[in-house]
Amino acid sequence: MSYFKTAILLAGLAGLFMGVGYLLGGAGGATIALVIAAAMNLFAYWNSDRMVLSMHGAHEVDARSAPDLVRLVGDLAGRAGLPMPRVFVMDNPQPNAFATGRNPQNAAVAVTTGLMGSLTREELAGVIAHELAHIKNHDTLLMTITATIAGAISMLAQFGMFFGGNRNNGPGVIGSLAMMILAPLGAMLVQMAISRTREYAADDLGARIVGQPMWLASALAKIANGAQRIENPSAEHNPATAHLFIINPLSGHGVDNLFATHPATENRIRALQELSRQFGGGAGMTMSAAPAGGAPPRGPWGGAAPRRRGPWG
């Protein structure tokens, strides 16, 4: 059902784009705008991952510079049936993470230093599994497309105001002004609805990948608390990327309403608790082997982890 809802919302966004183009520029204007939007989508398809990672100052790490993190990502990627994604770290005190890339073969997972310093290994595994779920569901490409179309709608509305709309059958100056305000707002609402739909789906699949829904639930509670207290400067300067993060990184959020990029954390945790009950108290599926090297379970960066059943101990 979530995929059907996403398809309907994406179709609505595309229809809004074409409708605005026709009203403001007629058939010719809509065609020109469509060509521009197609070029924007093509550019975003090939370059969105590099752009987003650069915006947030992410640097790539490997098995030598961040062995625990890379090993954890590799173990979970194998469990999810995905190629090993590139791994990035953002020097940012706010606990958060996101995934990007046009397909599983060209994907990247990025986490903040704040996330690594505040979660146990189990909780970090839940977060990484959530991001891998986005990759497996091709959400990273979907959200790039929705952001690009939403941006194109805003661009069309600005053009309409500047040129006065379609003089023959357009909305006129007052209508153009209303369209300039309402069209981008409508696009933003649809974009946010798609983002919220995909977050629930990624929570569910991520919990199934790691086999312990409550690990992700615990991580979401910690991340939401940290995001409310700690500012994310790069996200504040690039608010259009907020929907990519596992928790809204922007200040002044926290309600599950039309203007939220993410579902309320309480709702997400409640859904994970229900999934945990379906798993039989949270045990769920478990991995038969410990992480590479057979080391005893520990926190992500050396601290002792709570003793719990599952992939990491």
Residue identified by tokens 């309480």 is 266
Query: Model confidence over 271-309: pLDDT tens digits?
Result: 999 999 998 854 443 433 333 333 333 334 433 343 333
More confident residue, 129 or 103: 129
User: Which residues does the annotation mark as catalytic?
Assistant: 131
- C-alpha closest to that of 203 among 264, 120, 290: 264
pTM of the predicted protein model: 0.74
Q: What is the pLDDT of residue 302?
A: 38
Write the pLDDT tens digit of every residue in 141-160. 777 666 666 666 666 666 65
Q: How far apart are the first and last CA of the chain?
A: 35
